[in-house]
C-alpha cells in the first residue's frame, strides 16, 4: 500500500479547487501549482502550499512535465493528482511519477497509451468484444480513404487517431467533402497532438453521446457507476451533462456498464475513468476512453453518493474498492451546466477579461464548483470554463426547475457568459421531454433569442441587484416554481 501524506495538484481552476477540498476531507496536505497568470488564484489560496511553475503559456507551466515533477519533489509531495486537461492523459506524466517514486493518482502509463491512440483502442475493443462503430484503421492516403468510405457508406466521420475531445473531427457526405475533411482533420491533428494520422467511422444518425463512469482497484475489481448524458454540445465540446439519461433503461445501463468494464479490463485499467459511447435507436458503440476524471463527474457523485475524487485517492493508496456492483444505486437526477466565459451570440467565442462582480446561487439541490470566490480575472491563456453549476432533484423535472432558479440567481458581471443560454436550454420543450441528440444546439435556433430574453433580465453589475425589484420578483417566482 502506498501511503500518501502530501499531494501536488497539477492543475488550475475549479478542478484544482475540487481536488484540494478532497485532500482536506481526507487529511492530506495539498500543494498547488500556478503560472504567473494565476498568482493569487483561488486554488493557490485554498492549498496548504503553492509553487510557481512558469509563465502564463501552458507549454511553459502546466504542460511542462519537468517543472511539475520538480515542483512535487521540491514540495515533498508523495503523490500527484493531474485533474483533467493539461497532462492528465499524458502517459509520460504517469511514467515520470513512477521513476521519481511519486504516486500517480490515475491509471498506469500502459493503460493510458492503449486508450490514447484511437485506432489502437478500436482494435483492442473489438478484441474484447466491445461494440465499435464500423470504420477503419489509420488511413494512409486519400485514395485509401475514398475506397474505405465507399465500403462503409456515406456519410462518414474523419477523426484524429491521437487526442480527443472532438478536436479536428469532420463530417463528409460525399467524396469531395471527404477530400477536404481529410486535409482539415489531419492538419488539426498535427497542430494539436503532433500526430497527423486520421481514420474513418460511419457517421451514426440521430446520435446521443452517452458515457459510463468506471472505477477499478489494483486487486482486480472493476465496477461501473452508470451513465451520463452528454449530448448537449457545441463544436463537439460538451456544454451540459446529466445523470442518468432519458435514453437508457436499467437493462441497457447494465449492458453498457458491462461493456465499459470489459473495455477497462482489456487495458489493465486502474483508478477512475470514463468509457464513452455513441447511442442511436437502441444500439450503442464504443467511442473512446477518457483515462482521467471527467469535468462532469459531479452529476454521478450526486446521484450515486460516491465521492469520486476521494475514491481516486483511496485506490491510489492501494485500498480495494469498498463497493460491489450490486451496492451501487442511482437516486434522483442531476444536471451540470458548464459556466463559460463565452458569447453564445458569437458562435460561443471565448470572452476572457475581468469579472467585476460574482455571486453564486445556493439553496436546496444546488452545488457550484468554481474557480472564483469573487471578482477576478478569466485568463485568455486557458479554457474559458470558470465554474460548474450542478443541481439535483428527485426527478428530472425538479432538477431542471432548480437549474433555472439557480441560473437566475447566478450573477457574473463584467464579461459575457453562457448563463442565459443554459437558462434557455433548461426551459426548451424538446430538452424537457428528453428529445436529445448531439445536433440539439444547431437544430434549435430559437435558443439564442430566448437566451437574449434571459440576458436582459440580469443586471449588468451586482450593485444593481438590491434596487431592481423586477429581478427580485423573477427570482422569487423561479423559486416558487420548484416547490
Rounded to a whole number, what is the largest CA-CA distance in the chain?
A: 67
CB-based burial label for 36 (10 Å; 0-12, 13-18, 19+): middle
Tell me which residue of 196, 294, 214 sits closest to 253, measured CA to CA. Answer: 214
Which residues, other chains included, contact 67 with Cβ-Cβ below 8 Å and sequence gap of 6+? Answer: 53, 54, 61
When computed from its CA atoms, the radius of gyration of the chain, rounded to whole angstroms, is: 22
Partners of 412 in the β-ladder: 358
Catalytic residue among 170, 197, 292, 396: 292
Q: Please, what's the b/e burial string for 134-162 (b: 16 or more CB within 10 A of its CB; e: otherwise)?
A: ebbebbeeeeebeebbeebeebbbbbbbb
Residue 365 CA to residue 398 CA, distance in Å, equals 9
305 C-beta neighbours (distance < 10 Å), count: 12
Residue with cell 451586482: 462
Bridge-based pairing state of the strands 353-355 and 342-343: unpaired
Location of C-alpha cell 443560454: 421
Tell me how far CA of residue 26 lies from CA of 4, 13, 20, 23, 371, in angstroms. Answer: 10, 21, 10, 5, 21
Clarify whether 405 is annotated catalytic.
Answer: no
User: Reduced to 3 states, what is the DSSP secondary structure of residue 368?
Assistant: strand
d(CA 57, CA 62): 8
Query: Which residues are the active-site residues?
Result: 292
Amino acid at each position: 500500500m502506498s501511503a500518501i501524506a502530501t499531494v501536488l495538484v497539477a492543475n488550475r481552476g475549479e478542478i484544482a479547487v475540487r481536488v484540494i477540498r478532497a485532500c482536506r476531507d481526507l487529511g492530506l496536505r495539498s500543494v498547488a501549482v500556478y503560472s504567473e497568470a494565476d498568482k493569487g488564484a483561488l486554488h493557490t489560496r485554498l492549498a496548504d502550499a503553492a509553487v510557481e511553475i512558469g509563465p502564463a503559456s501552458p507549454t511553459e507551466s502546466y504542460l511542462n512535465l519537468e517543472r511539475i515533477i520538480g515542483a512535487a519533489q521540491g514540495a515533498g509531495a508523495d503523490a500527484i493528482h493531474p485533474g483533467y486537461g493539461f497532462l492528465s492523459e499524458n502517459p509520460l506524466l504517469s511514467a515520470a511519477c513512477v521513476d521519481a517514486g511519486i504516486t500517480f493518482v490515475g491509471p498506469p502509463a500502459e493503460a493510458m497509451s492503449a486508450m490514447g491512440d484511437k485506432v489502437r483502442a478500436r482494435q483492442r475493443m473489438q478484441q474484447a468484444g466491445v461494440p465499435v462503430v464500423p470504420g477503419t484503421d489509420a488511413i494512409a492516403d486519400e485514395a485509401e480513404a475514398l475506397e474505405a468510405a465507399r465500403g462503409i457508406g456515406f456519410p462518414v466521420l474523419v477523426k484524429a487517431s491521437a487526442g480527443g475531445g472532438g478536436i479536428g473531427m469532420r463530417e463528409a457526405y460525399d467524396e469531395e467533402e471527404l477530400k477536404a475533411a481529410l486535409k482539415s482533420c489531419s492538419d488539426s491533428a498535427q497542430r494539436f497532438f503532433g500526430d497527423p494520422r486520421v481514420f474513418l467511422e460511419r457517421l451514426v444518425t440521430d446520435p446521443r453521446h452517452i458515457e459510463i463512469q468506471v472505477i477499478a482497484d489494483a486487486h482486480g475489481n472493476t465496477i461501473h457507476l452508470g451513465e451520463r448524458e452528454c449530448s448537449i454540445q457545441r463544436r463537439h465540446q460538451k456544454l451540459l451533462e446529466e445523470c442518468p439519461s432519458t435514453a437508457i433503461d436499467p437493462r441497457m445501463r447494465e449492458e453498457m456498464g458491462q461493456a465499459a468494464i470489459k473495455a477497462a479490463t482489456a487495458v489493465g485499467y486502474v483508478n477512475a475513468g470514463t468509457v464513452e459511447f455513441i447511442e442511436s435507436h437502441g444500439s450503442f458503440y464504443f467511442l473512446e476512453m477518457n483515462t482521467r476524471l471527467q469535468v462532469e463527474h459531479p452529476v454521478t457523485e450526486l446521484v450515486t453518493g460516491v465521492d469520486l475524487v476521494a475514491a481516486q485517492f483511496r485506490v491510489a493508496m492501494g485500498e480495494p474498492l469498498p463497493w460491489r456492483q450490486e451496492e451501487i444505486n442511482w437516486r434522483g437526477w442531476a444536471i451540470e451546466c458548464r459556466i463559460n466565459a463565452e458569447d453564445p451570440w458569437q458562435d460561443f467565442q471565448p470572452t476572457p477579461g475581468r469579472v467585476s462582480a460574482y455571486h453564486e446561487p445556493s439553496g436546496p439541490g444546488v452545488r457550484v464548483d468554481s474557480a472564483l470566490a469573487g471578482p477576478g480575472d478569466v485568463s485568455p491563456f486557458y479554457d474559458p470554463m470558470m465554474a460548474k453549476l450542478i443541481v439535483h432533484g428527485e426527478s428530472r423535472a425538479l432538477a431542471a426547475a432548480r437549474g433555472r432558479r439557480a441560473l437566475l440567481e447566478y450573477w457574473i458581471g463584467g464579461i459575457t457568459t453562457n448563463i442565459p443560454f443554459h437558462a434557455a436550454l433548461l426551459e426548451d420543450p424538446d430538452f424537457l421531454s428528453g428529445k436529445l441528440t448531439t445536433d440539439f444546439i444547431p437544430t434549435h435556433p430559437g435558443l439564442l433569442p430566448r437566451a437574449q430574453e434571459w440576458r436582459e433580465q440580469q443586471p449588468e453589475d451586482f450593485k444593481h441587484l438590491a434596487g431592481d425589484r423586477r429581478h427580485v420578483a423573477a427570482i422569487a417566482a423561479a423559486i416558487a416554481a420548484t416547490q
